[in-house]
Amino acid sequence: MSAPIIKRRSPLIDPDSLSGLHPVLARVYAARGIKDPSHIGRSLKELLPDSELKGMDAAVQRLVIALEQRQSILIVGDFDCDGATSTAVAVLALRMMKVEQVDYLVPNRFEFGYGLSPEIVDVALALPKPPDLIVTVDNGISSVEGVARAQARGVDVLITDHHLPGDHLPDAVAIVNPNQQGCEFIAKSTCGVGVIFYVMIALRRALIASGYFQRQGIEVPNLANLLDLVALGTVADVVAFEHNNRTLVHQGLLRIRAGQARPGILALLDVAGRQRENLMAADLGFAIAPRLNAAGRLEDMSIGIECLLCDDADQAQQFAQQLNNLNVERRSIERQMQQDAHELLESLELDADEMPWGVCLFDPNWHQGVIGILASRIKERMHRPVIAFAPGEGDELKGSARSIEGFHVRDGLDAIAAKHPSLLRKFGGHAMAAGMSIAMDDLEAFRAAFDEEVRLRLNQDDLQRVVFTDGELSESEFTLELAEVLQEAGPWGHQFPEPLFDGEFRLLQQRIVGYRHLKMVVMPVGGQLALDAIAFNIDTEVWPSEAIQQVRLVYRLSKNVFRGRTTLQLMVDRLIPVS
């Protein structure tokens, strides 16, 4: 793996125009185009209006009918963290509105695959209490056949989704999806849980106007209490942190830090060893989301959803521990798959010029539920689009794709389907991630088609990993105060990245701690300040090395709390030997 090119971000506006801020924070904001600190996204009053979402009126009208007529509502979710939080938000919001007959169903990925398929509709209709209305969350925009099956059986379907639509839309009673054609909602990166939260907000307002809560003799529910779930799903789905998403995540983080979160989220933080008081958006993505996703990857996402739904702290702790155990198992499987993938790549004996631009990997022993993580890991290693395949049912292979900037993987698959109509049986997704199924006999043909499509859309420079930083810090800027300022200046996330800095340091001490982590004491070249630093998951064949006395670091400022004492620590993202 070649070393990345390190580039420093250029300011998009004049940092001096951001008066009253710490100079480093002004520089960081200026590099992200923030013209005013109020544009960060903090207040719920700043959220975009739900009226801009196409299909909202029809969706609310159908839900009002369901509530007024006491119809049975079934939420059909997805088996990832966004799907789990979307399902929980829908169920909890409707329960807060005193809907008596609301339940959920999440397809088992190994039996049914993704979305509202005809087979899942049949399962829904065989329930003891069949639904009068199916509401999809985080899926449904491609479920043409499934919606048709439900409608033919007299069951209405309301779709809430955020994935890109295909050429044909399902014949649902309503579709709420910011990415459907004609939708004026500008926050196109809103994920599944954000969409269903917006639907519930609009429903609540309609019910207030109709006098529903007064007639039922119940208080108007405070749906802001669900923002912890919205924040979790938004971070986990790695959507762009545009203004609207930052607001949702910030408000959710405030509630979690204050202990006003679902018992399941607090229990997951506990088993992950994270303190809610200092919670960052990244903690949701690295600590909670993998544990929830482990259920959908290895068993049944219902375990994760039940953890989010339960109101009892002891029961939540039991679910959280079960999810933690599944995550440990998932890590073990993933490590073996990564080793298999690396051996497979090495066996090809290809140099950089011979390596395909679009990489397709397959092993008959790989676990279908973990191929998405594997594709992500290999993509990070090789910095090119990667698809990992595992055996499906019969002659089918299931694939999970992860991409790099510049290659919209869902559009790429769409182009392949147009050129080679028989290659892809199913596919869907968005810019950076997608899923698909192909015939086993078509693997080599698909490999060639995928590599060709990637080469058409990327150039050689795109395959060079570039790490952008916010420049160098002076010795006087290595302070806990600045670390706290930057921490609170977020939330940080995809396309609104947490500040990274770079510089050259003398390496004073180095040792391995934990599994593969390098604990260091470093000093800026030309300076006198000794600083603690840590790099996670390093190459133990290289580190520690007494021969390396100077390094270039790409790092974040972080607070390290140990035995009640808080100190400054550099969280190292890139560790490059200089001498």
Per-residue tens of pLDDT for the chain, all 579 residues: 567 899 999 999 999 999 889 999 999 999 999 988 777 778 899 999 999 999 999 999 999 999 999 999 999 999 899 999 999 999 999 999 999 999 999 988 777 777 899 999 999 999 999 999 999 999 999 999 999 999 999 999 999 999 989 889 999 999 999 999 999 999 999 999 999 999 999 999 999 999 999 999 999 999 999 999 999 999 999 899 999 999 999 999 999 999 999 999 999 999 999 989 989 999 999 999 999 999 988 888 999 999 999 999 999 999 999 999 999 999 999 999 999 998 988 887 666 678 899 999 999 999 999 999 999 999 998 999 999 999 998 999 999 999 999 999 999 999 999 999 999 998 988 888 899 999 999 999 999 999 999 999 999 999 999 999 999 999 999 999 999 999 999 999 999 999 999 999 999 999 999 888 999 999 999 999 999 999 998 989 899 999 999 999 999 999 988 788 899 999 999 999 997
Per-residue confidence (pLDDT) for residue 563, from 0 to 100 = 80
Q: Is 350 helix (H, G, I), strand (E, B) or coil?
A: coil
Structural domain count, the chain: 3
Of 463, 479, 509, the residue that ends a domain is: 463
Give every CB contact of residue 254 below 8 A, 6+ residues apart in sequence.
none
Which residues are registered as beta bridge partners of 426?
437
Q: Which CATH number fits the domain that encloses residue 506?
A: 2.40.50.460
The answer to whether the bond into 544 is cis (omega within 30° of 0) is yes
Let me know if residue 211 belongs to a domain.
yes
DSSP-derived letter for residue 226 is G
In this structure, are 308 and 242 located in the same domain? yes
The residue segments making up the domain with residue 389 are 348-463
In this structure, are 225 and 123 located in the same domain? yes
Let me know if residue 150 belongs to a domain.
yes
**Closest listed residue to residue 343, CA positions, set 327, 370, 366:** 366
- Tell me the C-alpha to C-alpha distance, in Å, between residue 469 and each of 63, 75, 210, 251: 47, 43, 53, 27
**Closest listed residue to residue 521, CA positions, set 479, 529, 564:** 529
Of 463, 479, 510, the residue that ends a domain is: 463
- Tell me the C-alpha to C-alpha distance, in Å, between residue 70 and each of 103, 126, 131, 215: 13, 20, 11, 14
What is the token pair recorded at 427?
Answer: 């596919």
Reported as type and span, the H/E element at residue 510 is strand 501-513
Per-residue confidence (pLDDT) for residue 164, from 0 to 100 = 87
Per-residue confidence (pLDDT) for residue 430, from 0 to 100 = 81
Per-residue confidence (pLDDT) for residue 320, from 0 to 100 = 97
In this structure, are 156 and 221 located in the same domain? yes
Per-residue confidence (pLDDT) for residue 347, from 0 to 100 = 83
What is the token pair recorded at 362?
Answer: 């397959």
Let me know if residue 32 belongs to a domain.
no
* 110-142 pLDDT per residue, tens: 777 778 999 999 999 999 999 999 999 999 999
In this structure, are 293 and 414 located in the same domain? no
Of 435, 463, 491, the residue that ends a domain is: 463
CA distance 414 to 166: 9
Let me know if residue 10 belongs to a domain.
no
Per-residue confidence (pLDDT) for residue 349, from 0 to 100 = 66
Q: Is 432 helix (H, G, I), strand (E, B) or coil?
A: coil
Residue for token pair 């049949």: 122
- Tell me the C-alpha to C-alpha distance, in Å, between residue 393 and each of 111, 390, 439, 506: 8, 10, 10, 55
Let me know if residue 24 belongs to a domain.
no
In this structure, are 569 and 426 located in the same domain? no
In this structure, are 408 and 459 located in the same domain? yes
pTM of whole model > 0.85? yes
CA torsion angle 207 213 219 221 (round to 10): -20
Let me know if residue 38 belongs to a domain.
no
Q: Which CATH number fits the domain that encloses residue 406?
A: 3.10.310.30
Q: Which CATH number fits the domain that encloses residue 143?
A: 3.90.1640.30
Let me know if residue 208 belongs to a domain.
yes
In this structure, are 518 and 544 located in the same domain? yes
Q: Is 47 helix (H, G, I), strand (E, B) or coil?
A: coil
Per-residue confidence (pLDDT) for residue 215, from 0 to 100 = 94
Let me know if residue 28 belongs to a domain.
no
CB burial string 454-467: b at 16+ within 10 A, e below: beebbeeebbebee
In this structure, are 269 and 397 located in the same domain? no
Per-residue confidence (pLDDT) for residue 36, from 0 to 100 = 83
Per-residue confidence (pLDDT) for residue 457, from 0 to 100 = 97
Reported as type and span, the H/E element at residue 412 is helix 409-419
Rama region for 322: left / alpha / beta (φ>0; ψ in -120 to 50; rest):
alpha
In this structure, are 415 and 517 located in the same domain? no
In this structure, are 173 and 255 located in the same domain? yes
In this structure, are 401 and 515 located in the same domain? no
